[in-house]
Amino acid sequence: MNSLLVDIEQNLDPFPLYETMRQSYPVYHDPQRSSWHVFRYKDVMRVLSDYATFSSQFRGSEPADPSSPFSASIISSDPPRHHQLRSLVAQAFTPHAVEALVPRITEIVSERLDRALTSGRMDVIQDLGYPLPVIVIAELLGIPSQDLQRFKHWSDYAVHATDSGTRIDHERFSGSEMMEMGQYFLATIEKRRQVAGDDLISRLLKASIHGEHLNQMELLGFCVLLLVAGNETTTNLIGNAMAAFAEQPEVWESLRARPELLPQAIEEVLRYRSPVQAMFRTTTGEVKIDHQTIPARAQVVAWIGSANHDSAQFHEPARLDIKRSPNHHLAFGHGIHFCLGAPLARLEARIALGAMLERIKRFSLAPDASLERQASLIVYGLRSLPITYAL
């Protein structure tokens, strides 16, 4: 069974393995990794929703390290502090602020496609999926364009900071790469304290509730989280969508004929190939799931990628159905930790995929394409996606 979990983490198509786990081992204990795994939709939703029982704050038997940027961020907090952090961040990360990015995102997409669509071949990930969110997030934070490559390097490093099991590699997170990133952001935060600008960091510094502001570590945690989650989610959403459309070219034809279906298609891609496949929680006390008793202070892995293919929730889940309704997928989580950046990821994907629909009549995987999944437990995406196309 341990080899099966390794296969899930590394397989380009883990979905049949998820089906095996849902049917035979819906709540699985891995004694070697001291972790529990849930695979069914109802159980994953429970783990993501019941923060009193399944904590984001604890890591194993101890509270998260408050000196760690990730530990100080929204994603690693429980109520009541979580509500305070989210309310503060929401003041700077408003729907209006996201919608105001439409012209700039459109400009970036147009510039990237102008460069890429010249030879009959492009790499969807390298030419568009990766640079778009990196540029957007850097500009949101007021980061100079010459530092974009450093941003991508730090993001990749953090995403791959998971071991072959189910735990974050905290030694890797506390290594020189993460220290360099932390020092960079701290210096940027200090500059904004001295001279505020029209950027997200400046707005976060100003945000307050009852006179309370984000402290320095919480600010740093949000910058790191936005860099990593905001970058990888959008990159993989675009890449996973184009990979799915390459597998089923009739879907591309349908979308070109009816582009108004694109938002619905994006939701289906989020379900069908979720950019985030798993989330971690820790039990605050003994809890029973599906006749299995999970002890207190146990690490639980909620397999979102499996939940989104559960036939108890989705009709014909192995089929990409761009008209699927309702579509209550868990790709952005559920409950209090629902992804704050979901509107931005959806917006970037809608503009990027919409532009490609307008400019590319048809496409297919390049003849020499060899698809390889990113080496990460949490993230599901491709390293590259070379295609050939007709305009």
Distance CA 267, CA 45 (A): 18
Characterize the bridge pairing of strands 292-294 and 287-289: antiparallel
Contact between 41 and 310 (Cβ < 8 Å): yes
Cβ atoms < 10 Å from Cβ of 66: 12
Domain boundaries along the sequence of the chain: 2-390
Over the chain (391 residues), the average pLDDT of each successive run of 10 is: 66 93 95 91 98 81 55 81 85 84 97 97 96 91 85 74 46 65 91 92 88 87 83 93 97 97 98 95 96 95 97 97 97 92 95 98 96 86 96 95
Nearest Cα residue to 284 out of 83, 58, 82 = 58
- pLDDT score at 11: 85
Nearest Cα residue to 363 out of 262, 264, 265, 241 = 241
Q: pTM, whole model, 2 decimals?
A: 0.92
**HSE-CB of 274 using CA atoms within 13 angstroms:** 25
Nearest Cα residue to 224 out of 38, 386, 70 = 70
Residues 6 or more apart whose Cβ sits within 8 Å of residue 321: 268
- pLDDT score at 123: 98
Residue 124, by phi and psi: left (phi above 0), alpha (psi -120 to 50) or beta? alpha
Q: What Å distances lie between residue 189 and 40, 97, 164, 173, 284, CA to CA?
A: 42, 20, 34, 20, 34
- pLDDT score at 5: 66
- Count of residues for the chain? 391
- pLDDT score at 150: 85
- pLDDT score at 261: 98
- pLDDT score at 70: 63
Distance CA 161, CA 236 (A): 17
| 2-390 fold | Cytochrome p450 (1.10.630)
181 is written with which tokens?
Answer: 């990133």
